[in-house]
Chains A and B, each alone.
Chain A
Amino acid sequence: MAHFDENAKPFSHKWLNERLAVDTLKRVLSTEYWIPKNINFLWAMGMVLAATFGMLLISGIFLLMYYQPNTQLAFDSVNYTIMSEVGYGWLWRHIHGVGASVVFLIIYIHMFTGIYYGSYKRGRELIWLSGMLLFVAFSAEAFSGYMLPWGQMSYWAGMVITNLFSGGSLHATGLVEWIRGDYVPSQAFLNRFFMLHVLLIPLAIIGLIVFHFGTLRIPHVNNQDGEEFDFDAEAEKWKAGQKKESKVIPFNPVFLSKDVFVMGVYFILFFFLVFYNFEFAMDPVNFDPANPLKTPTHIYPEWYFLWSYEILRPFSTNIGLIAFAFAQVIFFALPFLDRSPNVAPASRRGPFKYWFWILLVDMLILTFMGKLPPVKPWGTIGYVAAVIFIILWIALPFITKSEKKL
């Protein structure tokens, strides 16, 4: 048995240390978790995401108190009860709606930062993969949450997205009905997506966030130059008082204080949107109650799904589904498709520089085209952009293989 000092006062530092090793925990997880100095504000996006997830969790808890997962009551419980009866119900709803939209903006910035600086390369593959799992979990969370107000967009998005699982010519209607628990989205469907949204997926997200942090601890975060250095040696310098010479800073309190500053700026913008410009996150079509006998004239997903929706749309069903499935999983393969040994910003990596910017612009074009009705010339532009997206990923191993070692 371990040694416990019988004179230690309950809950004193020593008492806690003997039982929980609080000093060791604090050292390993914060005061001696080293972060490079050579970073910029983009490195704060991880903590910004964690904080936004916190906002979603807290606002969600309050929404849960009055929401009714029932096809007859859901619409009014959101649009009437929560919005006009519950004190400050509108605040939670607007935080939740704006947060769900903004969280994807930050996720995309976080992802493209990683791609630009090569932060998915050797030693950091698991950071990328766990991050992609988080992206999938957040997508499922966003979709299931979108079902809950049971408006027209909820219903028809539910119809269209669950139909994707019929696999085109595979004609797996049995699978679709199994997912829905009915022939069409109905009570069983609403109830199970409610369960997924408030319990199963958030649990998975919390677990994945812990895993994502875990994958970061040993390889450490990347820096602006992709420079590899000895974290132990640099840490020794810092601890010896050579703070200026050392290339690293401790996570807590030094890095965190910078993070908190970025978060401060971010939350000013966030609450500006929540209080004054929340409409962008509230689609007007979803303020009509679900009607199984009438499709809205134009169906489109929320902006963060538009690029992959536009990869599905311009093709015939089967090819569209294959292209869509490709777009959903291909980002997972990034650490293995990039054959170059260089860990450096894209600007110093030859052809990869162009690959990065073409990919970014192409996804922006797909996003804009996805919002427009499928008529000429938008349909054609979307088609070309979808083909370019696929070509870019097929070309990636060849482009990066020929890259000169820096």
Chain B
Amino acid sequence: MADRRDFMGMALGAFTGLGALGALYAAKRTWDPLPSVKAAGFTTLDVSKAPEGVLITEMWRGKPIFVLKQTKEMVEKAKKKEISNAKGHKEIERLIKIGDSYFMITVGLCTHLGCIPGYRPETQDFLCACHGGMYDSTADVTKAPPPRGLDIPPYKIDGNKLVLGEEGPEYKKLVETGLTQRV
């Protein structure tokens, strides 16, 4: 009765396999971030009082957020300089315009492996101490190993304020043109 045994074996195997898949899915879901963690992922930033040329560090989803209100010289430079790995695009496109001012607002974690780059006011650039990556005042990468400039967090402009975690039309455009990546 080999056939009947084969059938029993296959039936047992199939049911055990289903159970194993179910258990794996449950295990995967247990490792997921909790709903409360996901829900706490929105932060409102008021940048109206930010001083020019001085780096401010805020926090969003536990990550540092760099806010650097651009000085006139920085803006002039950003209008001319191309983004290092997006030919045809100028650095100014990565700056966030609120009112008449331009802001560099990025996640303050190196796109290489996630250390916090340090701001150097005298040279107006960022240096990551972990592996030597460098970024300019618009957070565009100027020295490898980082593959791209600092990522811009999802944002929505709300008057003078900025809601981090929500994707506004300006942010969506940045992602579509490949000037930043979803974080």
Residue positions of A touching B, CB distance < 8 A: 156, 159-160, 163-164, 168-169, 171, 173, 177-184, 186, 188, 192, 292-299, 313, 315-318, 320, 373-375, 379
B116's closest neighbor in chain A, by CB? A295
Is there contact, CB below 8 Å, between A293 and B132?
no
How far apart sit A378 and B144, CA to CA, in the bound complex (Å)?
16
CB <8 Å contact, B61 and A156: no
Are A184 and B63 touching (Cβ within 8 A)? yes
B residues in contact with A299, CB < 8 Å? 115, 129-130
Q: Which residues of B contact A164 (CB under 8 A)?
A: 113
Which residues of the partner chain A approach B37 to less than 8 Å between Cβ atoms? Answer: 181-183, 186, 188
Closest chain B CB from A182 CB (angstroms)? 5
- 14 A-B contact pairs sorted by A residue (CB < 8 Å): A164-B113, A181-B32, A181-B37, A182-B33, A182-B37, A183-B63, A184-B62, A293-B64, A294-B116, A295-B115, A298-B129, A317-B111, A317-B112, A374-B132
Question: With A and B bound together, what is the CA distance between A87 and B28 in angstroms?
Answer: 41
A292 touching B62 in the complex, CB below 8 Å, given contacts A160-B130, A177-B33, A183-B37 = yes
- By the criterion CB–CB under 8 Å, are A178 and B31 in contact? yes
Chief secondary structure at chain B's binding surface: loop
The one of B61, B129, B145 in contact with A316, judged by C-beta atoms closer than 8 angstroms, is B145
Residue B121 at the chain A interface, CB threshold 8 Å:
no
Could you tell me the distance between the alpha carbons of A164 and B145 in the complex, rounded to whole angstroms?
Answer: 13
Structural contact, B114 and A163, CB atoms closer than 8 A: yes
Report whether A317 and B183 are in contact in the complex, using a CB–CB cutoff of 8 Å: no
Per-residue contact bits, chain B 29-54, to A (CB 8 Å; 1 contact, 0 not):
00111100100010000000000000
Contacts A163-B113, A295-B130; is A183 near B144 (CB within 8 Å)?
no
- Report how far A327 CA is from B163 CA in the complex, Å: 43
Check if B116 sits within 8 Å of A320, measured CB to CB. Answer: no
A159 engages B131 (CB within 8 Å):
no
| Cross-chain contact A317 with B147 (CB below 8 angstroms) | yes
- The complex places the Cα of A171 from the Cα of B148 at a distance, in Å, of 12
CB nearest to A292 among chain B residues: B62
Determine if B12 is an interface residue (Cβ-Cβ < 8 Å): no
Contact of B62 among A178, A183, A317, A318 (CB under 8 A): A183
* Ranked 3 nearest A-B pairs via Cβ: A184-B62, A183-B61, A295-B116
Across the interface, which residues of A come within 8 angstroms of B130, CB to CB?
160, 295, 298-299
Indicate if the CB atoms of A160 and B113 lie closer than 8 Å. Answer: yes
- Tell me the chain B residues, 111-159 only, with Cβ under 8 Å from chain A: 111-116, 118, 129-132, 144-147
Beyond A173-B183, A293-B59, 19 additional pairs, beta carbon < 8 A: A159-B113, A159-B115, A164-B113, A171-B181, A177-B33, A178-B32, A182-B33, A183-B33, A184-B61, A292-B62, A295-B116, A296-B129, A297-B129, A298-B130, A315-B145, A317-B111, A317-B145, A375-B132, A379-B132
A292-B64, A293-B57 known; A160 vs B114 contact (CB < 8 Å): yes
Q: How far is the CA of A356 from the CA of B57 in the complex (A)?
A: 50
Determine if A313 and B131 form an interchain contact, defined as CB atoms under 8 angstroms apart: yes
A296 to B130, CA, bound (A): 8
CB distance from A202 to the nearest CB of B (A): 19
Which A residues lie within 8 Å of B112 (CB)?
Answer: 317
Is the pair A316, B131 in contact by a Cβ cutoff of 8 Å?
Answer: no
Q: In the assembly, what is the distance between CA of A382 and CA of B82, in Å?
A: 32
Among A156, A315, A317, A320, point to the contact of B115 (Cβ < 8 A): A156
A374: B residues at CB distance < 8 A: 131-132
Docked pose: A184 CA to B65 CA in angstroms: 13
**Complex CA–CA separation, A379 to B28 (angstroms):** 40
State A188–B63 Cα separation when bound (angstroms). Answer: 16
| Inter-chain contacts of B72 with A (CB < 8 A) | none
- Assess whether A316 is in contact with B132, with CB atoms less than 8 Å apart: no
**Which chain A residues border B116 with CB–CB below 8 Å?**
293-295
A181 touches B115 (CB 8 A): no
CA–CA, A373 and B115, complex, Å? 14
B161 CB–A CB distance under 8 Å:
no
Indicate whether B97 reaches chain A with its CB closer than 8 angstroms: no
Which A residues lie within 8 Å of B114 (CB)?
159-160, 163
Residues of A contacting B61 with CB < 8 Å?
Answer: 183-184
Q: How far is the CA of A298 from the CA of B129 in the complex (A)?
A: 6
CB atoms of B31 and A316 under 8 A apart? no
Q: State whether A178 and B33 are in contact (beta carbons under 8 Å apart), knowing that A171-B181, A317-B147, A374-B131 are contacts in the complex.
A: yes
Complex alpha-carbon distance, A296 and B61, angstroms: 20
Q: How far is the CA of A160 from the CA of B145 in the complex (A)?
A: 14
Nearest-neighbor residue (CB-CB) of B111 within chain A: A317
Chain A neighbourhood of B34, CB < 8 A: 181, 188
Given known A183-B33, A188-B37, A379-B132, contact A292–B115 (CB-CB < 8 A): no
What chain A residues lie within 8 Å of B59 (beta carbons)? 292-293
Inter-chain CA distance A160–B28, complex, in Å, is 22
Q: Tell yes or no: B81 within 8 A of A by CB.
A: no
How far apart sit A318 and B61, CA to CA, in the bound complex (Å)? 26
